[in-house]
Amino acid sequence: MTQQLVFTAPRRALPPRHLADLDPAGRAAAVAELGLPAFRANQLAHHYYGRLIADPQQMTDLPAGVRAAVADALFPTLLTAASEIECDAGETRKTLWRAHDHTKFESVLMRYPRRNTVCISSQAGCGMACPFCATGQAGLTRNLSTAEILEQVRAAAVELRDRDHGRLSNIVFMGMGEPLANYARVVAAVRRITEPPPNGFGISARSVTVSTVGLAPAIRKLADEGLGVTLALSLHTPDDELRDTLVPVNNRWKVDEALDAARYYADVTGRRVSVEYALIRDVNDQPWRADLLGRKLHKTLGQLVHVNLIPLNPTPGSDWDASPKPVEREFVRRVRAQGVECTVRDTRGREIAAACGQLAADSE
């Protein structure tokens, strides 16, 4: 029997219960506890998911006499913006959130001509210890609750709506943390992101991406959930020798195991897998690694894969740096020569330290 590693967050005070933590049965029970009619459960959920309202004082169809009690029981303030910073002519906004226990984590809202994307955190910090990642070097503080994850989504949707009548279209779990190490809460959040009101925000599953450094059993489990979201595998090198250092979880699940799990995900869901590859100067950008990456992906995933090459966003004080553009172009050419689609990610937010973990680290 294969032994699975369990990534346990340090014990911290749990966030207070929030409506967004609850499924329909939980909402019904919570409303009953307050002595309210059963129909109030759907009414509150419509306000939260459909109208993006989290303050019962603004719920005018709720009796004034019960609004305070509802606020205390189901709408505690979970997140406060500790810092916000913009770049790209206001098209990129990074928010440092402070939770009830003063834990800090980040989200980034990015506006594009045909889509609006929010990159959200699933943990405060990260326990994966990847040396080129600011969050990984900071360590894991704790898992986020389902509601703390969803509040990042709601905040982005509200900002887009109020600022320019925009609509949130894409969500990527690529902020702080390893999403599949906070599996149950992330899956619950994805269900509420994709289900229509009153049970969720109604965002297409095809517009939601969940990233992982390669927790192979959890990838297979996610495939069986029937969610239909995009899986992004943060591979960063095709060989075990280097990946054992760049992505320490590789010491437990090797490259081939992670790719086999990704193939299972693609087969079960019918969705193409995105392979993330942070290109680091003189570390993982050699031509032979591009060739090996292309061969392995073509053999394992065929046409069900796309390589997303990421120019490394250096963190302050780090020796890691992005590869030169000619090296980047040659890497792309070699991967494509193996029959695998490969593109370079449009980088955003370099001047505001938008590599996740930097803003939180700078604030300490």
Q: For residue 189, which of 137, 146, 240 has the smallest C-alpha distance?
A: 146
Domain ranges within the chain, ordered by starting residue: 19-75, 79-352
- For residue 350, pLDDT over 70 is answered with no
| Secondary structure (3-state) at 266 | helix
Binding residues: 126, 130, 133, 177-178, 211, 234-236, 313
Which one is catalytic: 106, 148, 159, 276?
A: 106
Name the architecture of domain 19-75. Answer: Orthogonal Bundle (1.10)
Return d(Cα 85, Cα 108) in angstroms, integer. Answer: 10
Mind listing the pLDDT tens digit for each residue in 200-250? 999 999 999 999 999 999 999 999 999 999 999 999 999 999 999 999 999
Q: Do residues 45 and 27 lie in contact, with contact meaning Cβ atoms separated by under 8 Å?
A: yes
Give the pLDDT band (50/70/90) at residue 111: very high
Q: What is the mean pLDDT of residues 98-126?
A: 95
DSSP track, 211-238: EES--HHHHHHHHTTT--PEEEEE---S
Q: For residue 122, which of 52, 193, 53 has the smallest C-alpha distance?
A: 193
Q: What is the mean pLDDT of residues 314-331?
A: 87
Which one is catalytic: 119, 151, 276, 356?
A: 356
Binding residues for [4Fe-4S] cluster: 126, 130, 133
Least confident segment among 173-177, 311-315, 330-334: 311-315
Active site (annotated) includes residue 356: yes
Return d(Cα 313, Cα 322) in angstroms, integer. Answer: 7
Query: Over the chain, what is the mean pLDDT?
Result: 92
Q: What is the mean pLDDT of residues 154-182?
A: 96
Active site (annotated) includes residue 119: no
Return d(Cα 49, Cα 358) in angstroms, integer. Answer: 31
Best CATH choice for the domain 79-352 from the list 1.20.1250.20, 3.40.50.1860, 3.20.20.70, 3.40.50.300: 3.20.20.70
